[in-house]
């Protein structure tokens, strides 16, 4: 049962990160389309945002493994 809970946590963390990354990239592309001269700063901000969003599933995986290991 703990394995199922860990798998659900990892899946939801990955789903949230995927949606977040999609929104970040789509809004960055919109911004670049509107103001092409701001491509560099927008991409820099995008990469920082994507890095922060990607930290969530990594933390979720670590926590799921810790909780699964503690349940045994």
Do 42 and 31 contact (CB within 8 A), yes or no?
yes
- CA-to-CA distance for 70 and 50, rounded, in angstroms? 31
Tens-of-pLDDT digits for all 72 residues of the chain?
A: 778 888 898 899 999 999 999 999 999 999 999 999 999 999 999 999 999 999 989 998 898 888 877 776
**Which pairs from 16-23 meet CB under 8 Å and 24+ separation?**
16/56, 16/57, 17/53, 17/54, 17/56, 17/57, 20/53, 20/56, 21/50, 21/53, 21/54
Domain regions of the chain by residue span: 1-70
Domain covering 1-70: architecture = Up-down Bundle (1.20)
């Amino acid at each position: 049962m703990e394995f199922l809970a860990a798998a659900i946590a990892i899946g939801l963390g990955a789903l949230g990160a995927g949606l977040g990354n999609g929104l970040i990239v789509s809004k960055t592309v919109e911004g670049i389309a509107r103001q092409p001269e701001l491509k560099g700063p927008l991409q820099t901000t995008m990469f920082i945002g994507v890095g922060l969003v990607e930290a969530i599933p990594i933390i979720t995986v670590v926590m799921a493994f810790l909780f699964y290991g503690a349940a045994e």
